[in-house]
Structure 1
Amino acid sequence: MASQPAKLQKPSGAVQCVGPLYRSESQKPSATVSTEMNLDNVHILPQTPQLIALLTIIRDRNTEREDIAQRWVMLLDPMFATGGSAIMAVEVLKSRGVLEERILFLNLIASPEGVRAFTSKFPKLRVVTAFVDEGLDEKNYIVPGLGDFGDRFYTM
């Protein structure tokens, strides 16, 4: 999977936000990223009006797929805090024969701690995130974060 480095700019005096920065058409879209991540297998998506995330759950009732080892797997998790759940999910996929380099981990908001723990364990796996937040609090919640993703997504 080929990738190219992207240069992201944080405008001076910018406040942290989760979403696109709407500017005049003469300016290129840029993203506000609170934490720099200089890891080859971590890609932060630029936040532009064209970037729209829709998460859906698709469940195959026949979960014993024999051909999973031959497939590309997109692992989705909206909030990437400690990395514990993602690590366990990848270990299950690898135990079923899926190669690490055939797994793509996608999330909306990540913590630097989770990214480091995850990528140190799976250096060949690609991580794509929309935003790297400041870090984790004493309860391992992403800060500043966005609250309970499930409640917000399902408008509870």
Structure 2
Amino acid sequence: MNGDIGIGAAPAASRPHESLTFGPTLSILPPNDNVRELQTILRDRNTSRSDFKFYADKLIRLVIEESLNQLPFTSCEVITPTGATYEGLKYRSGNCGVSIIRSGEAMEQGLRDCCRSIRIGKILVESDTDTHAARVVYAKFPEDIAKRQVLLMYPIMSTGNTVSQAVNVLKEHGVKEECIILSNLFCTPYAAKTVVDYFPKMKILTSELHHVAPNHFGQKYFGTD
């Protein structure tokens, strides 16, 4: 793997084919044993639903926190309780989340836990089970979404088709590609390559690149399996 994937290298067992390159817009959550354990629990077919949801929420929180680090900040000054001046940072105004229904909704609470008053829109994309062709059937956004930085939430990306359709709808509503950050848990190399090629200015953050995605995620998380 050449070193242009981003802030962390994929573990050896999950590295995509050497010939694939993704560029600087794709980042992987910095790998450590804690992250690897969470990924293992979520992939284990013997994990109970209550444990699955608990550990999924932990991984979601880690990914959301790292995604928020990629939003634009601006300098600011505050006065401390002792009267001292502190030079710090704050988010630029105009951030929002957008979840891709239904599995993306699992990430909404993690975002709200980090950004209490953030607004969240929704997109519903239906995929054909045979052809994997995707089409948007519902979208609801803040009225001024074209002026916002958008954190697009979708935990499992196998082909990239669903995310591609969602990004196209955001762009149709005036959102700039470079103002979109895709927050993702598990991604296949094929999906990563597809999305990066289609949207080279969009940032993508995932916890893992692996040729087999845990497509049972949504059913297990919401108890519909």
TM-score (norm: length of structure 1):
0.66
CA–CA distance in 2 between the matches of 1:9 and 1:67?
A: 37
Please say if 1:119 is aligned against 2:196. yes
Please say if 1:90 is aligned against 2:167. yes
Candidates 139, 146, 149, aligned match of 2:214: 146
Q: Which residue of 2 aligns with 1:53?
A: 60
CA–CA distance in 1 between the matches of 2:121 and 2:9?
A: 38
Please say if 1:39 is aligned against 2:23. yes
**1:38, CA displacement in angstroms?**
4.4
Percent of aligned positions that are identical: 27
**1:56, CA displacement in angstroms?**
3.4
User: By percentage of residues, which structure has more helix?
Assistant: 2
Please say if 1:73 is aligned against 2:150. yes
CA–CA distance in 2 between the matches of 1:94 and 1:125?
A: 11
- Consecutive unaligned residues in structure 1, runs of 5 or more: 17-32, 135-142
**1:96, CA displacement in angstroms?**
0.4
Q: Which residue of 2 aligns with 1:30?
A: none
Task: Report runs of 4+ in structure 1 exceeding 2 Å deviation.
Answer: 4-11, 33-38, 47-52, 54-66
User: By percentage of residues, which structure has more strand?
Assistant: 2
Q: How many residues are treated as equivalent by the alignment?
A: 124
CA–CA distance in 1 between the matches of 2:189 and 2:209?
A: 7
Q: Which residue of 1 aligns with 2:210?
A: 133
**1:83, CA displacement in angstroms?**
0.5
Pairwise mapping of residues 19-34 of structure 1 onto structure 2 (< 5 A)?
33-34=14-15
Letter in 2 for 1:52: L
- Consecutive unaligned residues in structure 2, runs of 5 or more: 36-57, 62-105, 110-119, 123-138
**1:114, CA displacement in angstroms?**
0.8
Letter in 2 for 1:68: I
Computing the radius of gyration over CA atoms, which structure comes out larger, 1 or 2? 2
Letter in 2 for 1:56: M
